[in-house]
Chains A and B, each alone.
Chain A
């Protein structure tokens, strides 16, 4: 009898396993048929020229006028779980929704904070029925029409919003960026004042001279490398694109066809001169004493209270620096010290983008469109969070962009058709991983500068060699960048 029981248990478990297998396969198959059906629907919708079920297009919505008595309930997924809390240091979601409901009292917004956002939403997206509005996770652009509602054509949307082409497919725009980030340098205004620096540096030489002055006249660390954590040095790669070239096409279209991209162009611009700032700063002792034990968390408060003068970080870091101590007003943000043909540039890039589920009931779809438009245009969210607003007609930038007058914002253009993977492939084969987590190579600059084991030109030649070899291996033709 016992044997029978054991067998039964064994059998049951085997059955359960096979059932589970069946279950998963059947669910994926239904999902895929759903997708297929959906994509045809989306295609037909797109051919009609944008939004379908509700018949309302994003561009036509006038906040406060269009359908203010609309009744709907929508679910919105967010990665900002900190803003779900009542004690959030700033304006939380509840207050934004309250503001929203003053104009649209009958639209109920259900916010859901997702902690492990990037991976959780990918899974939920496959599963379907996740809600109405989400921040588009890392999916292939070709999959966009299978899951999301097109807002309109990219041409039309780029008149309204920045970064309209960041989530686009086949000329349709599927994502409205939440906020934008710019590349610059975080600095402590008081330290600069104490050192007697009145004008912000505009070239690498001026910047290095300022670091020297700071070292001589104050106790602050002129430039904190944040070497140890690795990722905290990623901004150095970030400057290489639009900031150092003024060319929106540079990173995705020019760089992959450039031989020896790390050579000195002689005019104080491009990658060579970006990384050279780091090398020179370390070599001359303008950085912290022991770079191997830098600590990201404490660096924030050190910048806040004036123990650190500058750090190379994107604008996203500004708010964190302000919040890290008692001197938020001392924290400043300046353009990267590099001037291309008499002008300074700053690369901008979108943060997550709002995507709206396709095939929603008409009311939910319209409510979602209204919410996305409201949060990006009227809520003041980007301003409150110290980020770049997305809507083109918002001229009120948060205070951190004060020093960016006359600086031109450049957003990287996507790769040419047929070359979408080219930069990735070259990055992979050359192992330089520019803007793809290649922190090790930036760390190596610090090491070489500190120990004197390699000259800067040797490092750049080595990178040139790697890049050229990768171009050969991938069979990429070089195009004269001057042409």
Chain B
């Protein structure tokens, strides 16, 4: 009440007076704190993105005149086999992502139990993630070179060189070779995230499971997995969308040649070598839509897949959930 009377008593409060009042200061702080991140976000993300969407309707290069062509660029994406085919390569990377998650879950579960030299293994597994992507490219180029590292190792365990494929030359295996390099690199990151999540599971649950005579697998299936469900889903979503935009491995190791050019590599070539900025922008927008669709599909899929687990989850840790729901 008093406030309103104050305001009506002094209707012509100047701006500086308002700015010095408590409200004014509050507003000032809020603005001061939000304006910088918001401006950065707008200037470096949303405005350029909007511009790019605009570019996708033009036939243009980086410099020089541009011509409005409507949907022609989008139509070209669908008409051109060489672009659409690159999307099939993503299947390799998606399969790799699934293997990567399973492997990471397995390693994380083992490492979160009492293992000798656990931290050493964690370190070793995480280490590749710290190496620069370009360096990894060179490492794997030599790794796969005929008669070099991989071939020597395989020969040492009894394979004959003549029976081994050319890891990067043979189009039947070269994409798998590339996918392996990316799994090798990112699995450590997933392991660390999963270990972190597993650590946060209530110890009493393990004890209870042990008392009930659960096997290790049952513990994993009914205690660990439901508890770290959120982070697993997050990682799967990130990995799958990441595999749609796979770039580094094929770009550095094979320059996208020999049938290893993923959507991103081809897009990069069209944008930078061929300077067809309009078409490349359209490809970027198209990829974004694909990623949206893939993400939504996955979310729905997981909702469906975990619907039973949720029920089990509630039974297993009913108290906890009830508390949460009560809080809401």
Asked if B32 and A437 make an inter-chain contact with CB atoms under 8 angstroms apart, the answer reads no
Asked if A428 and B275 make an inter-chain contact with CB atoms under 8 angstroms apart, the answer reads yes
A interface footprint on B28-42 (CB within 8 Å = 1, 0 otherwise): 110111011000000
Stretch at the interface among A106-114, A182-190, A286-294, A313-321: A286-294
Contact of A431 among B32, B61, B174, B270 (CB under 8 A): B270
Contact of A7 among B25, B269, B272 (CB under 8 A): B25
A305 to chain B, nearest CB (A): 18
Q: State which residues 94-108 of A face B: CB under 8 Å.
A: none
Stretch at the interface among A44-52, A209-217, A223-231, A357-365: A223-231
Asked if A290 and B146 make an inter-chain contact with CB atoms under 8 angstroms apart, the answer reads yes
Q: State which residues 149-202 of B face A: CB under 8 Å.
A: 166, 168-169, 171, 174
Residues of A within 8 A of B255 (CB): 228-230, 439-440, 443
Residues of B within 8 A of A440 (CB): 255-257, 261, 269, 273
Bound CA–CA A14/B270 (angstroms): 39
Asked if B32 and A6 make an inter-chain contact with CB atoms under 8 angstroms apart, the answer reads yes
B11 to chain A, nearest CB (A): 25
Asked if B275 and A228 make an inter-chain contact with CB atoms under 8 angstroms apart, the answer reads no
| Inter-chain contact total with CB atoms closer than 8 Å | 91
B interface footprint on A1-37 (CB within 8 Å = 1, 0 otherwise): 0011011011101100100000000000000000000
Tell me the nearest residue of chain B to A444, going by C-beta: B257
Tell me the nearest residue of chain A to B26, going by C-beta: A3
Bound CA–CA A228/B29 (angstroms): 55
Asked if B174 and A292 make an inter-chain contact with CB atoms under 8 angstroms apart, the answer reads yes
Residues of A within 8 A of B275 (CB): 424, 428
B interface footprint on A414-444 (CB within 8 Å = 1, 0 otherwise): 0000000100110111010100111110011
A129 within 8 A of B: no
Q: State which residues 1-48 of B face A: CB under 8 Å.
A: 25, 28-29, 31-33, 35-36
* Of A6, A14, A290, most B-chain CB atoms within 10 Å: A290
A143 within 8 A of B: no
B190 to chain A, nearest CB (A): 29
Asked if B28 and A293 make an inter-chain contact with CB atoms under 8 angstroms apart, the answer reads no
Asked if B254 and A292 make an inter-chain contact with CB atoms under 8 angstroms apart, the answer reads yes
Asked if B274 and A433 make an inter-chain contact with CB atoms under 8 angstroms apart, the answer reads yes
Tell me the nearest residue of chain A to B261, going by C-beta: A440
Residues of B within 8 A of A444 (CB): 257
Asked if A228 and B274 make an inter-chain contact with CB atoms under 8 angstroms apart, the answer reads no
Residues of B within 8 A of A433 (CB): 273-274
Using A292-B174, A436-B273 as known contacts, say yes or no to A13 and B36 having CB atoms under 8 A apart.
yes
Total number of A residues with any Cβ neighbor in B under 8 Å = 38
Bound CA–CA A51/B28 (angstroms): 60
B64 within 8 A of A: yes
Bound CA–CA A171/B161 (angstroms): 64
Residues of B within 8 A of A293 (CB): 141-142, 144-146, 148, 168-169
Tell me the nearest residue of chain A to B276, going by C-beta: A428
Bound CA–CA A194/B169 (angstroms): 31
A447 within 8 A of B: yes
Asked if B29 and A227 make an inter-chain contact with CB atoms under 8 angstroms apart, the answer reads no
Tell me the nearest residue of chain B to A453, going by C-beta: B171
Asked if B258 and A443 make an inter-chain contact with CB atoms under 8 angstroms apart, the answer reads yes
Residues of A within 8 A of B128 (CB): none
* Of A10, A289, A429, A451, most B-chain CB atoms within 10 Å: A10
Asked if B169 and A290 make an inter-chain contact with CB atoms under 8 angstroms apart, the answer reads yes
A295 within 8 A of B: yes
Tell me the nearest residue of chain A to B30, going by C-beta: A10
Bound CA–CA A194/B257 (angstroms): 35
A interface footprint on B221-243 (CB within 8 Å = 1, 0 otherwise): 00000000000000000000000
Contact of A290 among B29, B145, B171, B274 (CB under 8 A): B145
Bound CA–CA A270/B62 (angstroms): 31
Q: State which residues 281-307 of A face B: CB under 8 Å.
A: 289-293, 295
Asked if A438 and B273 make an inter-chain contact with CB atoms under 8 angstroms apart, the answer reads yes
B133 within 8 A of A: no
Total number of B residues with any Cβ neighbor in A under 8 Å = 35
Tell me the nearest residue of chain B to A289, going by C-beta: B146
Residues of A within 8 A of B146 (CB): 289-290, 293
Asked if B35 and A292 make an inter-chain contact with CB atoms under 8 angstroms apart, the answer reads no
Asked if A428 and B25 make an inter-chain contact with CB atoms under 8 angstroms apart, the answer reads no
Contact of B28 among A10, A229, A450 (CB under 8 A): A10
* Of A292, A436, A444, most B-chain CB atoms within 10 Å: A292
* Of B145, B171, B275, most A-chain CB atoms within 10 Å: B275
Residues of B within 8 A of A429 (CB): 276
Bound CA–CA A437/B273 (angstroms): 6
Q: State which residues 24-80 of B face A: CB under 8 Å.
A: 25, 28-29, 31-33, 35-36, 61, 64
Using A13-B36, A429-B276 as known contacts, say yes or no to A290 and B166 having CB atoms under 8 A apart.
yes
Contact of A292 among B29, B169, B276 (CB under 8 A): B169
B264 to chain A, nearest CB (A): 14
Tell me the nearest residue of chain B to A290, going by C-beta: B146
Tell me the nearest residue of chain B to A431, going by C-beta: B274
Asked if A10 and B29 make an inter-chain contact with CB atoms under 8 angstroms apart, the answer reads yes
Residues of A within 8 A of B28 (CB): 7, 10
Residues of B within 8 A of A443 (CB): 255, 257-258
B95 to chain A, nearest CB (A): 22
Using A292-B166, A431-B276 as known contacts, say yes or no to A228 and B269 having CB atoms under 8 A apart.
no
Tell me the nearest residue of chain B to A9, going by C-beta: B32
Contact of B29 among A6, A295, A437 (CB under 8 A): A6
Asked if B168 and A290 make an inter-chain contact with CB atoms under 8 angstroms apart, the answer reads yes
Bound CA–CA A289/B146 (angstroms): 8
Residues of B within 8 A of A9 (CB): 32
Contact of B32 among A11, A229, A427, A428 (CB under 8 A): A11
Give B contacts to A, CB under 8 Å. 25, 28-29, 31-33, 35-36, 61, 64, 141-142, 144-146, 148, 166, 168-169, 171, 174, 254-259, 261, 269-270, 272-276
Give A contacts to B, CB under 8 Å. 3-4, 6-7, 9-11, 13-14, 17, 227-230, 289-293, 295, 421, 424-425, 427-429, 431, 433, 436-440, 443-444, 447, 450-451
Extra inter-chain contacts (15) besides given A293-B145, A444-B257, CB under 8 Å: A3-B29, A4-B25, A6-B32, A10-B28, A10-B33, A228-B254, A228-B255, A228-B257, A292-B174, A427-B274, A431-B274, A433-B273, A440-B256, A440-B257, A443-B255
Q: What are 12 contact pairs spanning A and B, CB under 8 A? A: A3-B25, A10-B28, A10-B29, A14-B32, A17-B36, A228-B141, A230-B255, A292-B257, A425-B61, A428-B61, A431-B270, A443-B258
